[in-house]
Structure 1
Amino acid sequence: MSVSTMVATPSLQAVIFDMDGVLIDSEPLWQQGEYEVFREAGVPLTPQMCQQTMGLRVDHVVRYWQQRYPDIVLEPHATAQAILDRVAAQIMLEGVPMPGVVNTLQRLHAQGITIGLATSSPGQLVTTILQKLQIIDYFTLWHSAEHEPYGKPHPAVYLSAAERLGVAPQHCLAIEDSLNGLLAAKSAGMSLLAVPDHRCATDPRWVWADYRLDSLEAFDDTHPLWSHLATSRHP
């Protein structure tokens, strides 16, 4: 499915990818790691409940469940690190690019489009994933929300990524799979290509996306966004 709700698309000088669920199918690994660690700590989560925190920074995930289960003591740093370690280990074992990712990166690079990354995941995991997928050289920069006062859905990580790229937010296209990412990118004033995770694909809030695809495999020559990207190269 390809859906466009945008009336007019500005010239686009940079594409900023989310990572988890866009570049790599790591959302199930995050949910499994969170489920296991929190259950071991006594928090009665179910796999379905883990979907509530999709797209949040891992320390915010810990805080989210601590607030809802205040009688259970969670050491924030140790809990977050335990989740991160489990996710990283599974990614090294089975991580592969999402369908269409490599072709999209290759084409953007060939057309001279600046490519960035804005993620809720910590830098430790960013380098692990980009190297594992062998796509690290496509990115001009990657920026983690761990360096911001607030993670997604706050727009800070996107605004900082755009500033470091030297591109105004209105000339950036964000690619996201989560609703928290959608809110962050749109609050930053960016155009948004949504590739929703199937677990939240029916949520009505996806109508706020400017474009929507079921997979980046459909981001081919016929997609209208390419006409805006092809003419927006940096000097």
Structure 2
Amino acid sequence: MIKAAIFDFDGLILDTETAWFDAYREVLHNQFQFDLPLEEFVKCVGSDDTVLFSYLQKELDYQLNTGSIRNEARKLHSQYVSDAKAREGVVDYLRDAKNEGLTVSLATSSTTKWATTHLTNLNLLSYFDFLVTQDMVKRVKPAPDIFLKTLEKLDLEAHEAVVFEDSLNGLVAAQEVKLPTVIIPNPVTAALPFENYHLKLNSMTDMSLHEILKSLNK
């Protein structure tokens, strides 16, 4: 029986990932006339930017001022998401989760400050019973630490929760813990080779949360 719903944040609740891609692409084009391929950027989605900067270091072949690149991208990103709304169906899923009596947790590779700021701006923070962020673990996704910490806080076994994810790194982390996972990609992650998930939807409007729970509770 499913007792909890666990939601990723970036790219799933708010499409910050497309905004990050656009921001980094613009900064790298302006500073280096470099065209950032989506297939390289997407490797860091759901995790941190370590893989991205390792790739850029090799491609650009000289010492990068990573702090400067991050700061410029962050400024652009803030502009891009300042008026962004939650993805379609998010509010319905959160409301329905509470109505179904589920405990609701966030499990994100982002910081607590980042998640709480955006959830507050979206008027969604009150739906969450727990927030588990990068500040609480040693390793972010695709390592399983965030989901292990989430299950610890929920005091549940993996089969008693369902995870909603948009990234391959998130799916890999959930699979390590054997958490049933519903994949809902965003435009940046849509082409990733997702495998061994419970369901994959184009949008949360494709299937109600009640229908998902019914499929898991058979």
Q: TM-score, normalised by structure 1?
A: 0.79
CA positional deviation for 1:104? 0.8
- Counterpart code for 1:220: S
In the other structure, the counterpart of 1:3 is: none
In the other structure, the counterpart of 2:45 is: 54
1:105 and 2:105 equivalent?
no
Closer, same or farther: CA 160–18 of 1 in aligned 2, 3 Å: same
- Counterpart code for 2:128: F
How many residue pairs get matched?
217
Provide the rounded CA distance (Å) in 2 between the counterparts of 1:148 and 1:63: 22
Per-residue Cα deviation, 1:101-132 (whole angstroms, up to 9, x for no partner): 10111010112101111112222321221012
In the other structure, the counterpart of 1:7 is: none
Closer, same or farther: CA 70–159 of 1 in aligned 2, 3 Å: farther
Provide the rounded CA distance (Å) in 1 between the counterparts of 2:35 and 2:102: 42
In the other structure, the counterpart of 1:220 is: 208
- Counterpart code for 2:130: L
Counterpart of 2:114 in 1: which secondary structure? helix
Counterpart of 1:95 in 2: which secondary structure? coil
1:25 and 2:12 equivalent?
no
Q: Can you give the 5+ residue segments of structure 1 that lack an aligned partner in the other structure?
A: 1-10
Percent identity among equivalent residues?
A: 25
Closer, same or farther: CA 138–46 of 1 in aligned 2, 3 Å: same
Q: Can you give the 5+ residue segments of structure 2 that lack an aligned partner in the other structure?
A: none
Contact 1:91 1:129 survives alignment (8 Å)? no
CA positional deviation for 1:56? 2.2
Counterpart of 1:175 in 2: which secondary structure? strand
Provide the rounded CA distance (Å) in 1 between the counterparts of 2:28 and 2:149: 31
Counterpart of 2:163 in 1: which secondary structure? strand
In the other structure, the counterpart of 1:64 is: 54
Closer, same or farther: CA 227–178 of 1 in aligned 2, 3 Å: closer
Counterpart of 2:63 in 1: which secondary structure? coil
Per-residue Cα deviation, 1:121-179 (whole angstroms, up to 9, x for no partner): 22232122101211110011222225433221111111112212222233221111111
CA positional deviation for 1:34? 2.0
1:206 and 2:206 equivalent?
no
1:173 and 2:173 equivalent?
no
Closer, same or farther: CA 220–45 of 1 in aligned 2, 3 Å: same
Contact 1:15 1:113 survives alignment (8 Å)? yes
Closer, same or farther: CA 34–200 of 1 in aligned 2, 3 Å: same
Provide the rounded CA distance (Å) in 1 between the counterparts of 2:113 and 2:79: 12
Contact 1:105 1:138 survives alignment (8 Å)? yes
Counterpart of 2:32 in 1: which secondary structure? coil
Q: Which of these residues, 117, 122, 135, is aligned with residue 128 of structure 1?
A: 117
Question: Where does 1:179-198 land on structure 2 (aligned, <5 Å)?
Answer: 179-198=168-187
Counterpart of 2:205 in 1: which secondary structure? helix
1:86 and 2:79 equivalent?
no
Counterpart of 2:148 in 1: which secondary structure? helix
Closer, same or farther: CA 188–97 of 1 in aligned 2, 3 Å: same
CA positional deviation for 1:67? 4.7
Q: Which of these residues, 150, 155, 158, is aligned with residue 144 of structure 2?
A: 155
Counterpart of 1:219 in 2: which secondary structure? coil
